[in-house]
């Protein structure tokens, strides 16, 4: 009986280790713009962007990014915020000013950031500038959501 028990234990041990598995999930994303029109960051902007607080001046730093654009020759590009640009901690808020090449973008109207006569491809400077944070305390969060439209200009 001992002879039969040992092969059975070996078989059970082998079967238990043969059923052990492991898995890995790799999340992917590909965002391919239209070949005739896009407005995109020149370098990827990923994760939450930190607006550093300058203790000496009691201000939050401006964030600057470079955007590449491409438009059809007879088109202008307009930009708009899809909602107010603010930082909030749930109690207080800090307004953000969003500009492309010094022109302020709002959520109330479209702003022409490139005209029909501008080059078909090029670069834009985006700046996100916070209003005064004096007297505000806490961790503030927010989003800047932008929409772009290429429009034919007769």
With a cut of 90, say whether residue 6 has pLDDT above it. Answer: no
Q: Are 113 and 77 in contact (CB under 8 A)?
A: yes
Percentage of the chain modeled with pLDDT above 90: 67
CA 113 to chain centre: 20
* pLDDT band with cut points at 50, 70 and 90 for residue 16: low
14 pLDDT higher than 70: no
pLDDT over threshold 80, residue 136: yes
At 22 the pLDDT is: 87
31: closest CA among 50, 48, 45, 52?
45
Mean pLDDT of 137-150: 95
Domain ranges of the chain: 38-152
HEC letters along 67-136: EEEECCCCEEEEEEECCCCEEECCCCEEEEEEEECCEEECCCCCEEEECCCCCCEEEEEEEEEECCCCCC
Pick the CATH number of 38-152 from 2.60.40.2040, 3.40.50.2300, 3.30.1490.20, 3.40.1280.10: 2.60.40.2040
Poorest-pLDDT segment among 4-8, 55-59, 109-113: 4-8
Q: What is the pLDDT of residue 3?
A: 55
């Amino acid at each position: 009986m001992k002879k039969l028990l040992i092969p059975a234990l070996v078989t059970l041990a082998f079967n238990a280790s043969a059923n052990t598995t492991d898995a890995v999930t790799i999340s992917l994303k590909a965002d391919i713009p239209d070949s005739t029109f896009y407005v995109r960051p020149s370098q990827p902007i990923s994760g939450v962007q930190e607006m550093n607080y300058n203790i000496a001046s009691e201000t939050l730093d401006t964030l600057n990014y470079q955007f590449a654009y491409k438009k059809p020759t007879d088109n202008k590009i307009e930009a708009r915020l899809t909602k107010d640009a603010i930082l909030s901690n749930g109690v207080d808020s800090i307004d953000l000013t969003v500009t492309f090449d010094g022109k302020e973008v709002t959520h109330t109207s479209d702003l022409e950031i490139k005209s029909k006569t501008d080059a078909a491809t090029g670069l834009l400077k985006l700046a996100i500038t916070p209003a005064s944070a004096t007297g505000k305390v806490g961790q503030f969060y927010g989003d800047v959501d932008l929409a772009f439209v290429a429009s034919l200009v007769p």
